[in-house]
Amino acid sequence: MELSQRQETIIEIVKNQGPITGEQIAEQLNLTRATLRPDLSILTMAGLIEARPRVGYFYSGKTVDRVLADKITRIKVGDVKSVPIVVSEKCTVYDAVVTMFIEDVGTLYVVRDGGLLEGVVSRKDLLKTTLGGHDIHKLPVGVIMTRMPNVHVTLENDSVWLAACKLLTHEVDSLPVVKEVPKGKGKDFEVIGRFSKTNLTRIFVELGEGS
């Protein structure tokens, strides 16, 4: 956001003298309260200053970057997740590749009864296998997949920011979105969605539209 000179000045005044009323700010700038109103409401809406009734304006301590960061970390994985594409552990490598093309996804999640996560298989895993001279019409994906507990997952209630951090850190293109299901002393993960770099790209485009 490009702040006007006057808006920058208002932030300075509020930062140094807040809490301060609109009247007092107007006085210092030799302007009427009415003239200032649009600036004050823009700065308040942008989260750069805050208004408290009968007290006045005070500085929120948030920079523009901070406001942005707040917004990004408030978007939840559950708000943007896609439908997961799943196969069983016994599915052959050949059928997995076909499923990947038909569903047009980069990662398949391997599940057992009840949609419980067993592993994931990526384009890279499949490419390596097709290259290896295996009989891909017989080899089951269970043999080549990355198996739990080595699969990185995300929860519906995680922020997309946290999910993006996981994508980068673990160098994967997608994360299964899961719900925890108690099992004895441990837990299982039911697959309820898919979160990929494509979802992130979509969010990015929407944020840039200012929508």
Binding residues for its own copies, rule: CB under 8 A, are 1-2, 15-16, 38, 42, 45-48, 61-73, 94, 97, 100-101, 104, 106, 123-124, 126-128, 130-131, 136, 159-161, 164-165, 167-168, 171, 173, 197-198, 200-205, 207-211
Please provide residue 177's backbone torsions phi and psi, each rounded to the nearest 5 degrees.
-90, 125
Q: How far is the CB of 116 from its own copies (least distance, A)?
A: 27
Q: How far is the CB of 112 from its own copies (least distance, A)?
A: 26
Q: How far is the CB of 199 from its own copies (least distance, A)?
A: 10
Cβ proximity to its own copies: between 93 and 151 the closer is 93
Cβ proximity to its own copies: between 121 and 188 the closer is 121
Q: Is 102 helix (H, G, I), strand (E, B) or coil?
A: helix
Per DSSP, what are the bridge partners of residue 189? 180
| Cα 55 from Cα 12, distance rounded (Å) | 18
Cβ proximity to its own copies: between 66 and 183 the closer is 66
- 104 contact partners, CB below 8 Å, separation of at least 6: none
Cβ proximity to its own copies: between 32 and 183 the closer is 32
Under a CB-based contact definition with an 8 Å cutoff, are residues 120 and 145 in contact?
yes
| Cα 62 from Cα 19, distance rounded (Å) | 16
Q: How far is the CB of 185 from its own copies (least distance, A)?
A: 34
Under a CB-based contact definition with an 8 Å cutoff, are residues 148 and 118 in contact?
yes
Per DSSP, what are the bridge partners of residue 176? 194
Cβ proximity to its own copies: between 32 and 180 the closer is 32
In one-letter notation, the amino acid at residue 196 is S
Q: How far is the CB of 187 from its own copies (least distance, A)?
A: 28
